[in-house]
Amino acid sequence: MKRAVCIISGGMDSAVASFIDKKERYEIVAVHFNYGQKKKKKELQAFEALVKVLEAKSYVIDLDFFKQIGASALVDRDIAVPEDGIKPGIPVTYVPFRNGIFLSIAAAIAEKEKASAIYIGVVEEDSSGYPDCRQSFIEAMQKAINLGTKDETTISVKTPLIHLKKEDIVSLGLELGVPLELTWSCYQSEEKACGVCDSCRLRLKGFAKAGVEDPIPYKTRAVL
Amino acid sequence: MKRAVCIISGGMDSAVASFIDKKERYEIVAVHFNYGQKKKKKELQAFEALVKVLEAKSYVIDLDFFKQIGASALVDRDIAVPEDGIKPGIPVTYVPFRNGIFLSIAAAIAEKEKASAIYIGVVEEDSSGYPDCRQSFIEAMQKAINLGTKDETTISVKTPLIHLKKEDIVSLGLELGVPLELTWSCYQSEEKACGVCDSCRLRLKGFAKAGVEDPIPYKTRAVL
Confidence at residue A7, expressed as pLDDT on a 0 to 100 scale: 98
Q: How far is CA B159 from the centre of its chain?
A: 11
Task: Characterize B134-169 residue by residue with b for buried, 16 or more Cβ atoms within 10 angstroms of its Cβ, and e for exposed.
Answer: beebbebbbbbbbbbbbeebebebbbbbbebbbbbb
Q: How far is the C-alpha of B120 from the C-alpha of A85, rounded, in Å?
A: 41
CA distances from B220 to A176, B13, B93, B192 (A): 62, 21, 20, 9
State whether residue A108 sits within 8 Å of chain B by CB: yes
Residues B150, A107: C-beta atoms closer than 8 Å? no
- Does A134 have pLDDT greater than 80? yes
Q: How far is the C-alpha of B208 from the C-alpha of B191, rounded, in Å?
A: 22
Taking CA atoms, what residue in B is nearest to A105? B101
State whether residue B64 sits within 8 Å of chain A by CB: yes
Confidence at residue B219, expressed as pLDDT on a 0 to 100 scale: 97
CA distances from B135 to B94, B141, B142, B158, B160 (A): 17, 10, 10, 10, 11
Q: How far is the C-alpha of A167 from the C-alpha of A202, rounded, in Å?
A: 9
Q: How far is the C-alpha of B48 from the C-alpha of B60, rounded, in Å?
A: 9
- For chain B, helix, strand, coil in percent to 5 are 40, 10, 50
State whether residue B80 sits within 8 Å of chain A by CB: no
| Residue of A79, A90, A104, A139 to mutate, interface with B, max B Cβ within 10 Å | A104
Of B47, B8, B16, give the one whose Cα is nearest residue B180. B16
State whether residue A131 sits within 8 Å of chain B by CB: yes
| Residue of A59, A147, A151 to mutate, interface with B, max B Cβ within 10 Å | A147
* Among A109, A111, A131, beta carbon nearest to B148: A131
- Does A215 have pLDDT greater than 80? yes
Collapse the DSSP code of A145 into the 3-class scheme (helix H, G, I; strand E, B; otherwise coil) and give the result. helix
Q: How far is the C-alpha of A173 from the C-alpha of A178, rounded, in Å?
A: 5
Model pLDDT for residues A27-45, shown as the tens digit of each residue: 999 999 999 998 889 999 9
Q: Domains of chain A, with CATH numbers?
A: 3-185 (3.40.50.620)
One-letter amino acid for residue A82 of the chain: P
Confidence at residue A127, expressed as pLDDT on a 0 to 100 scale: 87
Q: Are B73 and B82 in contact, with CB atoms under 8 Å apart?
A: yes
Q: How far is the C-alpha of A16 from the C-alpha of A174, rounded, in Å?
A: 9
Confidence at residue A139, expressed as pLDDT on a 0 to 100 scale: 98
Residues A140, B143: C-beta atoms closer than 8 Å? yes
Q: Sign of the CA dihedral A173, A177, A181, A183? A: negative
Q: Shortest Cα distance from A96 to chain B (angstroms)?
A: 5
Considering the entire predicted model, what is its pTM? 0.97
> Chain B partners of A63 at a C-beta cutoff of 8 Å?
65
Q: Are B40 and B11 in contact, with CB atoms under 8 Å apart?
A: no
One-letter amino acid for residue B142 of the chain: Q
Residues B149, A96: C-beta atoms closer than 8 Å? yes
Taking CA atoms, what residue in A is nearest to B97? A108
Quote the percentage of chain A above a pLDDT of 70: 100
E strand or H helix at B158: strand B156-158
Model pLDDT for residues A189-198, shown as the tens digit of each residue: 989 999 999 9
Model pLDDT for residues A76-89, shown as the tens digit of each residue: 999 999 999 999 99
Confidence at residue B38, expressed as pLDDT on a 0 to 100 scale: 87
Of A224, A188, A221, give the one whose Cα is nearest residue A38. A188
Confidence of residue A224 (pLDDT cuts 50, 70, 90): low
* Among B64, B71, B151, beta carbon nearest to A112: B71
Residues A100, B148: C-beta atoms closer than 8 Å? yes
E strand or H helix at A38: none
Confidence at residue A128, expressed as pLDDT on a 0 to 100 scale: 86
Of A117, A130, A187, A113, give the one whose Cα is nearest residue B111. A130
Collapse the DSSP code of A65 into the 3-class scheme (helix H, G, I; strand E, B; otherwise coil) and give the result. helix
| Residue of B64, B99, B105 to mutate, interface with A, max A Cβ within 10 Å | B105
Q: Are B161 and B169 in contact, with CB atoms under 8 Å apart?
A: yes
Confidence at residue B60, expressed as pLDDT on a 0 to 100 scale: 98
Q: Are B224 and B86 in contact, with CB atoms under 8 Å apart?
A: yes
Considering chain A, what is the average pLDDT of its residues? 96
Q: Shortest Cα distance from B216 to chain A (angstroms)?
A: 32
Taking CA atoms, what residue in A is nearest to B89? A150
Confidence at residue A1, expressed as pLDDT on a 0 to 100 scale: 82
Confidence at residue B224, expressed as pLDDT on a 0 to 100 scale: 62
> pLDDT truncated to tens, each residue of chain B (224 aa)?
899 999 999 999 999 999 999 999 999 999 999 999 988 899 999 999 999 999 999 999 999 999 999 999 999 999 999 999 999 999 999 999 999 999 999 999 999 999 999 999 999 988 889 999 999 999 999 999 999 999 999 999 999 999 999 999 999 999 999 999 999 999 999 899 999 999 999 999 999 999 999 999 999 998 76
Q: How far is CA B64 from the centre of its chain?
A: 18
Q: Shortest Cα distance from A100 to chain B (angstroms)?
A: 6
Greater model confidence, B126 or A46? A46
> Chain B partners of A64 at a C-beta cutoff of 8 Å?
62
> Chain A partners of B64 at a C-beta cutoff of 8 Å?
62
Confidence at residue B126, expressed as pLDDT on a 0 to 100 scale: 86
Residues B96, A90: C-beta atoms closer than 8 Å? no
Please calculate the CA angle B135-B138-B143 and round it to the nearest 5 degrees: 130
Greater model confidence, A43 or A128? A43
Q: How far is the C-alpha of B30 from the C-alpha of B55, rounded, in Å?
A: 10
State whether residue B204 sits within 8 Å of chain A by CB: no
- Does A201 have pLDDT greater than 80? yes
State whether residue A70 sits within 8 Å of chain B by CB: yes
